[in-house]
Structure 1
Amino acid sequence: MTPTPTAPSTRSRRSAAVPALLAALALTAACSNSSDSGGSGGGDGGGAALTGDCARFQPYAGHSGTTVTVFASILSPESDNLEKSWSEFSSCTGIRISYEGSNDFESQLPVRVAGGNAPDFAIIPQPGLLAQMVKSGKVVKPPAQTVANQDRWSPVWKTYGSVNGTFYAAPMSANMKSLVWYSPKAFKQAGYEVPKSWSALMELSDRIAKAGGGRPWCGGIASGTATGWPATDWLEEVVLGSYGGEVYDQWVSHRVKFSDEKITTAMKTVAGWMQNPAWVNGGYGDVKSIATTTFQDAGAPILTGKCFMLQQASFYKAQWPKDTKVGPDGDVFAFHLPAVNPGVPNPVEGGGEFLTAFAGRPEVQAVQNYLSSPEWASSRVKTATGWVSANQGVDKSLYTDPIDRLSADALTDPAATFRFDGSDLMPAAIGAGQEWKSLTAWFAEGQSIQKTAADIDAAWPQ
């Protein structure tokens, strides 16, 4: 689960629109675009030829003067960079992309679709929500070029954009969750090395605890109505890193239950790691304090030496103070969380977003083809740091941020055992409901593993 950004003010939206408009006007003057809206479907290069800097958008031409609507949960300032990523495409092709972001996206999208007011596109971060929309009968299958563009992604990503074996939604972004944040400066001063295996990570944790001073781990799972989601990530990391992708897939579909010995064993591994009273919760208190510490604040003690490590996703970079140097020799950096079982090759857990169409007009298909291409992904990478694609067609030299590059390397590794965030794959009643509640009780109240697992299994929809 990925937290939703805060809502933008009206002022920020207006001020962002001014430079975007000026850039669009300048680009239009530099490029020739005399194509009309009568081109022959799906962005096949119909209409007059585009020249100059616009020539590379010829495959999408032929639909000038049309508008395509996009609805998502992405808000300013991230949405400003998203709109910037397609501004040149829009100026050159004449297809206006009208974007709307909302804090209530997950609840509003089904209402709009059911009411006959669906957007042309929705950017959906949860495969479970995608399946719900497909069930409505309103989702339109993608054109052939969008399907062909999936060849640049690891095959498993196509399955997350599919429902019952049919492909509906192209992946757009990705985030890397299998990271451990630490202070290179603190490690160097204490003589610690980045561990390359789970056993080495546990040995380092024990060494730090026995040395006194800062605790090896800090953590926080408080997140308002979403309290508990970081704990789901810890369990998912251990299940994937212990048993590999096949068992993970069976677990998120409930063919392997939470009460199964494999999952309760994984929970014992999490408990030995993040519920070890000698190892946590550096800077905040005991094990129970993890339940009341927000995920945003969880890593702060790393900067003061009160804890040494935090397991959190790549997007946690935004939580560090602005003057924090992030890098291999900086105030903070991250390393890949090792597999619990060394026999599992390079386990990587991540999340992402999927472009889902509710219309099949030619201009909609042209936008769909572009936003599923490595050319768009490269444009998006250039707009700002903190965004990563698992599209293998993106030139990795475009990533100027070291965390983005580290994440991109892991997410595009063809040998990696990649799996999507498990709670996002589970039914919402579990992955965004009972599992959050039960894992929070596990940390906050010391609830037993057996009861925690049984309560989640009992809540699973029939």
Structure 2
Amino acid sequence: MSRPGARTLGVLGLCLLLLGAGVIAGVRWAREWQGSVTLLANWSGREREQFEKNVIEPFEEKHRIDVVYQGSSALSQVLAADIAAGNPPDVAVLPGPGELLAYAVDGRLHPLDGLFDAGHYDRFWAPEVSVPGQDAHTYWLPVKTGLKSMVWYAGHQPTAEAANPPGRWCLGMESGATSGWPGTDWVEDILLQQAGPRVYEQWAGGRLPWTDDAVRKAWTTWTDMVGAGDSARVERALTTAFAADCAPGRLEHQGSFRAGHWQQAGGDYVHFSQVVPEAGPDAGAWEVSGDLAAVLNPTPQAEQLIRYLADPDTTLPDYTANRAATADGEQDATEREIGTVLREPGRARCWDASDAMPRTTRDAFHQAVLRTFAAPDELPARLTELERLRKPQNLPVCSAG
């Protein structure tokens, strides 16, 4: 057997050296990972893809923390089951503060004090909440926010008279496990515009009966405006998805997430107070929504994720409530206007009432609007049922604007 020459040995040595360097580099790269964090939210499809691309991937690259994302349309049920099994996610993102408040009272949430600059947010978005046996703490952080109290249209700007025929309205009530919420938005917004923020906050906070005249009036106004009880209209609305396209010439009472659809149709929006019958002297407040992040398992990785989500330089989906966030140069005039309403100090804003209510009340509210839409003459019975579930709670529902 011939011995390898000096050149062959040199090449072999170089290969071994490079291989060893690669192994060392690979080991060092693997060691850079600083653990993982589990995240539960209800985003799916394109919404999830955008969140993973714009938020999760940059976070993982910057902090070397693996984000294990779990998405579910049955968010409340999944979270409750995980907690009951003793295996909650590190971070959960829920729509609205009502359900989160219940977990805070039960001692399931961990304070976020010191993890972000609270001064960057209107305290309405990230309030200090008092729970029994604890000092006041901030328990959640808005990740994305949305504007409601909007009536979308294309063509002539609608008036109260033009918006009255039920046939003018595009209405879809189907939303899987949460079907009915578009109807609750109607009832809430009508009460907000007719009775004003003070009455609205009392009702949403469980301090005003469901059988109160102002609440009853909001329900009956809604049933009149959408033509409740008409079998053909009811069947069509109950089987139409909330985000289905609207026919030309229709109006739609929906939130800012519909901006793209209506802009493609050359449309715009007006405040709901301009078309709702008998709007009161305090009309003009905005109903808003938000997905809120809370920590159930206070690991260093979970706390780092909260810091990242609150960083003004982090690109978040849709609209952010962080007043220190860098302006998005790609937003058009309508999107900038919506963002201003959501962030600007002094604006009168109120949480989507069903999202601020306890989970049991919220779910019953969804069912009540579906049943009332089909049989409006049964409204008294529905309100009596909801009244049995009323529970006062310590939660700021409206901003001081």
Partners of 1:246 and 1:290 in 2: how far apart?
35
**What's the secondary structure of 1:69's corresponding residue?**
strand
2:273 maps to 1:338: yes
2:43 maps to 1:74: yes
Per the alignment, residue 40 of structure 1 pairs with none
2:173 maps to 1:231: no
Per the alignment, residue 452 of structure 1 pairs with 382
Which letter does structure 2 place at the counterpart of 1:380?
L
Structure with greater Cα Rg:
2
Partners of 1:218 and 1:234 in 2: how far apart?
12
Q: Note the 1:31-430 alignment, pairs <5 A.
A: 65-86=34-55, 87-146=57-116, 148=117, 150-159=118-127, 162=129, 164=131, 165-183=136-154, 187=155, 192=156, 194=157, 201-205=159-163, 215-275=167-227, 288-289=234-235, 291-296=237-242, 299-301=245-247, 303=248, 305=249, 308-316=250-258, 320=261, 326=263, 330-338=265-273, 341=279, 343-344=281-282, 346-376=284-314, 379-381=315-317, 387-400=318-331, 404-430=335-361
**Distance 1:134-1:447 versus aligned 2 partners, 3 A rule:** same
**Distance 1:297-1:420 versus aligned 2 partners, 3 A rule:** closer
Partners of 2:291 and 2:302 in 1: how far apart?
18
**Distance 1:292-1:107 versus aligned 2 partners, 3 A rule:** closer
- Contact 1:345 1:416 (C-alpha < 8 Å) held by counterparts: no
- Contact 2:37 2:68 (C-alpha < 8 Å) held by counterparts: yes
Per the alignment, residue 384 of structure 1 pairs with none
Partners of 1:268 and 1:35 in 2: how far apart?
63
Shift of 1:237: 0.5
Per the alignment, residue 371 of structure 2 pairs with 441
Shift of 1:459: 4.3
Which letter does structure 2 place at the counterpart of 1:456?
L
**Distance 1:141-1:409 versus aligned 2 partners, 3 A rule:** same
Which letter does structure 2 place at the counterpart of 1:153?
Y
- Contact 1:162 1:169 (C-alpha < 8 Å) held by counterparts: no
Shift of 1:348: 1.1
- Contact 1:176 1:407 (C-alpha < 8 Å) held by counterparts: yes
Shift of 1:355: 1.3
Which letter does structure 2 place at the counterpart of 1:157?
W
Per the alignment, residue 53 of structure 1 pairs with none
Partners of 2:382 and 2:79 in 1: how far apart?
32
Q: Give the structure, 1 or 2, with the largest relative contact order (CA under 8 Å, sep 6 or more).
A: 2
Q: TM-score scaled to structure 1, two decimals? A: 0.68
Shift of 1:94: 2.4
Shift of 1:309: 0.7
- Contact 1:72 1:122 (C-alpha < 8 Å) held by counterparts: yes
- Contact 1:71 1:121 (C-alpha < 8 Å) held by counterparts: yes
Shift of 1:168: 0.9
Return 5+ residue gaps in structure 1 as ranges.
Answer: 1-33, 38-62, 196-200, 382-386
Partners of 2:242 and 2:109 in 1: how far apart?
35
- Contact 1:223 1:295 (C-alpha < 8 Å) held by counterparts: yes
Deviations 1:367-398 (A, max 9, x none): 2112122222xx125xxxxx112222234443
Shift of 1:401: 5.0
Partners of 2:194 and 2:330 in 1: how far apart?
31
**Distance 1:275-1:177 versus aligned 2 partners, 3 A rule:** same
Which letter does structure 2 place at the counterpart of 1:155?
R
Q: Percent same amino acid among aligned pairs?
A: 24
**Distance 1:225-1:90 versus aligned 2 partners, 3 A rule:** closer
Shift of 1:287: 5.0
Which letter does structure 2 place at the counterpart of 1:105?
L
**What's the secondary structure of 2:381's corresponding residue?**
helix
Partners of 1:333 and 1:310 in 2: how far apart?
11
Higher mean displacement: 340-349 or 413-422: 340-349
Deviations 1:237-282 (A, max 9, x none): 01112233222121012211111112112223324433389xxx9x
Deviations 1:270-301 (A, max 9, x none): 24433389xxx9xxx86545643424366522
